[in-house]
């Protein structure tokens, strides 16, 4: 079996930070996978943007459960994709984010991702309405900081 995941970069925060950036992403893969394990100091969302675009160019469809109920929602014309939510202080969140056709310069970019925390589990689909190849990814805490010790790893998927 061919090995198709290739590590691109890993960041482990040695101190709290408002954001984490992966930049100068090569266009030599078919897709990207971002895996993270993070904590925040307060109830918080983790937001993702591409190529420094903070315009209203993002959408998402959400399924969310808390162990006793489930909800769904849709957001359009957002300024980022919400890729995680910590429901309380010091809540640990694990994400797996698949970014398809990130280097294709003729299509919008789609993401499929799952995250779970101590309070919630969620499956989501995101869209960046831009045909530019993704060369940078920024993950930002909506308020406060991402805690020290949080880890973010980016992988490229090679064509099999």
Run of H or E residues at 8:
strand 5-12
The residue behind tokens 């808390």 is 66
pTM attached to this predicted model: 0.93
**CA atoms of 37 and 146, how far apart (whole Å):** 10
State the CATH number of the domain containing residue 120.
2.60.120
6-15, 31-40, 64-73, 86-95: range with lowest mean pLDDT: 86-95
Q: How many domains does the chain have?
A: 1
Model pLDDT for residues 12-69, shown as the tens digit of each residue: 999 999 999 999 999 999 999 999 999 877 778 899 999 999 999 999 999 999 999 9
| Structural domain span for residue 124 | 5-157
Phi-psi domain of 46 (left: phi exceeds 0; alpha: psi -120 through 50; beta: other): beta
Token pair for 122: 């969620």
Beta carbons within 10 angstroms of residue 10's beta carbon: 12
């Amino acid at each position: 079996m061919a090995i198709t995941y290739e590590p691109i970069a890993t960041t482990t925060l040695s101190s709290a930070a408002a954001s984490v950036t992966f930049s100068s992403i090569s266009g030599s893969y078919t897709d990207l996978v971002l895996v993270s394990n993070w904590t925040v100091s307060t109830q918080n969302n983790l937001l993702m943007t591409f190529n420094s675009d903070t315009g209203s160019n993002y959408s998402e469809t959400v399924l969310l459960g808390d162990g006793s109920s489930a909800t769904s929602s849709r957001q359009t014309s957002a300024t980022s994709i919400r890729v995680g939510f910590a429901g309380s202080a010091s809540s640990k969140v694990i994400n797996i984010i698949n970014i398809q056709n990130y280097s294709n310069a003729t299509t919008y970019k789609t993401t499929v991702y799952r995250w779970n925390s101590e309070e919630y589990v969620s499956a989501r689909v995101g869209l960046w309405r831009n045909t530019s190849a993704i060369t940078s990814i920024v993950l930002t805490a909506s308020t406060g900081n991402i805690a020290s010790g949080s880890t973010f790893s980016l992988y490229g998927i090679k064509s099999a």
